[in-house]
Amino acid sequence: MIWRNIASNFFTLLVVLLVVLAGAVAWAKREFSGAGPSEIAQCVQIAPGASLNAVSKQLAEQGAISSAYIFRAGADYMEKSRDLRFGSYLMPPRASMEDIVETVTRGGPSTCGTEVILRIGVRENTILLRDINPETGAYEERDRYDPGKGDAPEAIIAAQEKEDSRIRMTLAEGATSWQVVQGLKGAGFLSGEIDEIPDEGSLAPDTYEIEKNEDREALLTRMAQRQATILAEEWEARPFGLPYETQQEALIMASIVEKETGVPDERPQVASVFVNRLEQGMRLETDPTVIYGITGGEGVLDRGLRRSELNQTTPYNTYRVDGLPPTPIANPGRASIRAALNPAETDYLFFVADGSGGHAFGRTLEEHEANVARWREIERQRGQSTDSPVQGGG
């Protein structure tokens, strides 16, 4: 009888333990998959070679997770305990431990922490230092400088040397290849020499993730490959009947469209003007090509064109020569390439500034002259010079 009681009590205790264990497992699963404790966004930084144990303690200390043990156990259960990826990752408020494990083992570009950005623009190049504010999820600028005009601030030098800093390069639409090369030469986080300036128009304006000490020539190759891909894709999707025999001719037109307007919605209309002119045997008569012939793409003219320059015959003076200039005059973005290959269907042959940042388009010389007169009046009201010539396309 006593052994029967002992067995019965043991069985009861075992059942209780199993129920408690099942409850604990269910609770742990809910803790692992449920909303996390942090009410604000958190920047989770994974150091190179960090262990799961160290990361779990770090996350618990910063309040991103409720239990380091459950985090480790969950990562083990998901078979991802050895898959940690170096980087800095922004976690949204109430991110679960499961979501955090997925993010820090999937990897990819860092989404928070310190960021150094080289911005190559049409008028200047800038290197920025930014840090993300976890509470807002937005980057806040800490420092900046022009690499062509002085030494880097100490804060930017220190950020470039940090292992977990994210480094990017952004190329603006309409910058020339010479401007790109100057920007890359001034970036201390890149390495290697640049043997020659890439062909004009061959580099894709975009944002590029950069490895520290990445070779400058290798980065230019990446930019050229992306532009070639974009051009091929847009060329393949073009309609029939355009006045281009080659992709290069389309790229030349795209660069002109890029330099003629800063209003995105105008690009197809601007392209239509130049396509209509080509089809009717008219000269393009566009100022940006003349400017490129003067500067060679090395910097900005920073003054109006002189009539003597418009009257001088050069390969890029589309007031004096027929057809397209011999090369692109800048690096156009995808939108301008698409506009050049998909121009709006219009009867426009002229356009001129309208005072709003955009342009007034005209079908006839009479319409164009009226638009020019309105623009001259706007210039007079603003106290600007009205001596610079306005002809043809631009």
185-205 per-position pLDDT tens digit: 988 889 999 999 999 999 999
Residue-range domains of the chain with CATH? 34-107 (3.30.1490.480), 114-231 (no CATH), 241-381 (no CATH)
Strands 166-171 and 214-215: unpaired
- Interhelix angle 334-341/267-279, nearest 10 degrees: 40
Structure token pair of residue 294: 């003067």
- Burial call 346-382: b when 16+ CB within 10 Å, e when fewer: eebbbbbbeeeebbbbbeeeeebeebbeebeeebeee
Which of left, alpha, beta for 362 (phi over 0: left; psi -120 to 50: alpha)? Answer: beta
295 to 122, 176, 316: CA distances (angstroms)? 13, 11, 11
Q: Where are the alpha helices (DSSP H) in the chain?
A: 2-33, 52-61, 68-77, 97-106, 154-161, 177-185, 216-236, 247-260, 267-279, 287-295, 307-311, 334-341, 365-381
Among 146, 116, 150, 115, which residue's Cα sits nearest to residue 132?
A: 115
Q: Give Cα separations from 9 to 12, 22, 69 (angstroms).
A: 5, 20, 32
229 three-class SS:
helix
| pLDDT of 389 | 47
Which pTM does this prediction carry? 0.77
- Structure-token match 């004096």, residue found: 320
Residue-wise pLDDT tens digits, 220-252:
999 999 999 999 999 999 998 899 999 999 999
Average of pLDDT values for 43-70? 85
Q: In 10 A of CB 122, how many CB atoms?
A: 16
Question: Residue 170, SS3?
Answer: strand
DSSP SS3 for 226: helix
- Tens-place pLDDT, residues 285-328: 999 999 999 999 998 888 888 999 898 999 999 999 999 999 99
- The stretch 361-375 carries a mean pLDDT of 90
pLDDT at 3 over 80: no
* 10 pLDDT higher than 60: no
